[in-house]
Structure 1
Amino acid sequence: MPAALVSASGVLLFGFENDPLGYGALALGLATAAFIDRELMRHLALVAAGMVIISLVPLNADLSLQHMALMGGALALAVLVPWLVSRFVYRERIIRFPVNTGRKWPLPAKLYLIGVVFLGYLVLPAYLIRTGVYQNWPDASDPTIFWRLFLGVNTVGIWDELFFICTMFTLLRRHFPDWLANLLQAVVFSSFLWEIGYQAWGPLLTFPFALLQGYTFKLTKSFSYVVTVHLTFDFALFLALVHAHNRDWLPIFLY
């Protein structure tokens, strides 16, 4: 129940943008955990710290320098604070970001990347254009906005894996079966992406993606691989957004 409350608070904070209820569910989850399992409470507190930090700033695709700096700072702190507390206060080495694992990617992993590109090509333009949610992101016809959009999409993609997979999923796996830990992180992951702009029927796309990312990390134990998967998908997203705003650009999509 404590972990479910923390996960549900993500829906309230990011999905419904109801801070009082979201913070209430978060506090109740931590208080309940304190009576059940102190170690669980400490780890949920790390997740909660990150969630509270990112809830303090508007989560949207505003590409002004001020907003990008504000949001970028919040996202950085949301990862750094749990890692620093875990590493130097709790004296644990649970939260890790394994980049150089020393393992080569097998053929299925490489084929999976190709499949991700193909899936993004097929699904993203139809989703963005038919629902009109592409308007949640700015028109990138201006060169400055074009590169800021590219930077923003990729930065958020990397952060998703740093926080939801390497931090939240990893901490929850200490207390729950992998499948349950994955479901709990995917709820918050997809709620965050909803506020970012993946609305309409976006959760039908983002929730399975979050589950796949957690499962992929479990199999590969590689941060670099799950980030590559995410950025590959986000590259298709970026191209689809550019096309959605300017239909004569990149007329390569089917929708």
Structure 2
Amino acid sequence: MRPRASWGLVPAALLSASAVLLFGVREPLPGYALLAAAVGLAFVIDRALFKDLLLLAIGLLIISAISVEADISYPNMALMGAVLTLAVLVPYLLSRYAFGDHAIRFPIRTGQRWTPLERWYLPLVLLLGYLILPTYFIRSGAYQNWPAVTAPDEIARLFVGVGFVGIWDELFFICTAFTLLRRHFPDWQANLLQAVIFTSFLWELGYQSWGPLMTFPFALLQGYTFALTKSLTYVVLVHLLFDAVVFLVIVHAHTRDWLPIFLY
């Protein structure tokens, strides 16, 4: 049993707060200072925690090297794809080969059948997306953070971009951040910490206005679902179903004659 309160929560909270500065309010210097303070304090408090926070800090540093605002131009998609891939790959390789503990895993096949509740949750995700997302994107104006797409290749790039980021979210925030944090803290604390980072990233991506009221609970649900199912495949499927509605709503929001199927 992990303690409900420990000094290790201080550097972990500082690391999560650094993501707010780096991605939420876009203040890189204070963000890097907070990130350094988190890693340094962890080194003093707990060397095992230091190693795991260092892995997360490296991932955040890699992500912060670019803007993650929605831009579906070919050069930016290639750059963003490469950087986000490195943000997952580098901590994984360091954990596996430098630290030798193989803490970060990506459980695609668990050998466990989905329960009836897990099966019913999937259409529920689609329904919730249909009910919530049009109102959020259109009434808040957040859809304007994504480019209007009308040409076939633009629509395809938006579809691929939304899907790629959705999969990456689960690889980094759940399989990396949440997994590393729950080695040191109770699941509910680790989940709150990763949800702050998750929400900060999505803010810069474009989920602004009252978006955090939606993205923070979604991040918590994804962490809880992963802890329950232990399946990357399942949480990715949940995310992609939600993102499928995101894609359709963005297309409709920019060109209201297309896909007039939403209520808002």
Using structure 1 for the length normalisation, give the TM-score.
0.99
What is the alpha-carbon distance in structure 1 between the residues aligned to residue 254 and residue 241 of structure 2?
Answer: 21
What is the alpha-carbon distance in structure 2 between the residues aligned to residue 32 and residue 98 of structure 1?
Answer: 31
- Kindly provide the CA deviation profile for residues 49-70 of structure 1, in whole angstroms up to 9, marking residues without a partner as x: 0000000001111111111111
- Kindly provide the CA deviation profile for residues 148-200 of structure 1, in whole angstroms up to 9, marking residues without a partner as x: 00000000000000000000000001100000000000000000000000000
- Where do 1:44-123 residues align within 5 Å? 44-123=53-132
Could you say which residue in structure 1 is the equivalent of 2:242? 233
Task: Kindly provide the amino acid, as one letter, of the partner of residue 87 in structure 2.
Answer: A
Q: Could you say what secondary structure the match of 1:32 adopts? A: helix
- Kindly provide the CA deviation profile for residues 73-112 of structure 1, in whole angstroms up to 9, marking residues without a partner as x: 1100000000000000100121000001111111111111
Q: Could you say what secondary structure the match of 2:260 adopts? A: coil
Could you say which residue in structure 1 is the equivalent of 2:23? 14
Could you say which residue in structure 2 is the equivalent of 1:35? 44
What is the alpha-carbon distance in structure 1 between the residues aligned to residue 28 and residue 76 of structure 2?
Answer: 20
Q: Could you say what secondary structure the match of 2:258 adopts? A: coil
| CA shift for structure 1 position 140 | 1.6
| CA shift for structure 1 position 141 | 1.1
Could you say which residue in structure 2 is the equivalent of 1:24? 33
Task: Kindly provide the amino acid, as one letter, of the partner of residue 116 in structure 1.
Answer: V
Could you say which residue in structure 1 is the equivalent of 2:223? 214
What is the alpha-carbon distance in structure 2 between the residues aligned to residue 135 and residue 175 of structure 1?
Answer: 40
What is the alpha-carbon distance in structure 2 between the residues aligned to residue 157 and residue 14 of structure 1?
Answer: 17
Could you say which residue in structure 1 is the equivalent of 2:140? 131
Matched, 1:147 2:156: yes
What is the alpha-carbon distance in structure 2 between the residues aligned to residue 129 and residue 78 of structure 1?
Answer: 32
Matched, 1:204 2:213: yes
Number of residue pairs matched by the alignment: 255
Q: Could you say what secondary structure the match of 1:249 adopts? A: coil
Could you say which residue in structure 1 is the equivalent of 2:181? 172
| CA shift for structure 1 position 142 | 1.3
Structure 1: gaps (5+ residues): none
- Divergent runs of 4+, >2 A: none
- Where do 1:244-255 residues align within 5 Å? 244-255=253-264
What is the alpha-carbon distance in structure 2 between the residues aligned to residue 62 and residue 219 of structure 1?
Answer: 35
What is the alpha-carbon distance in structure 2 between the residues aligned to residue 135 and residue 16 of structure 1?
Answer: 19
Task: Kindly provide the amino acid, as one letter, of the partner of residue 92 in structure 2.
Answer: W
Q: Could you say what secondary structure the match of 1:98 adopts? A: coil
What is the alpha-carbon distance in structure 1 between the residues aligned to residue 149 and residue 234 of structure 2?
Answer: 28
Which of 188, 201, 218 aligns to 2:197? It is 188
Could you say which residue in structure 1 is the equivalent of 2:5? none
Structure 2: gaps (5+ residues): 1-9
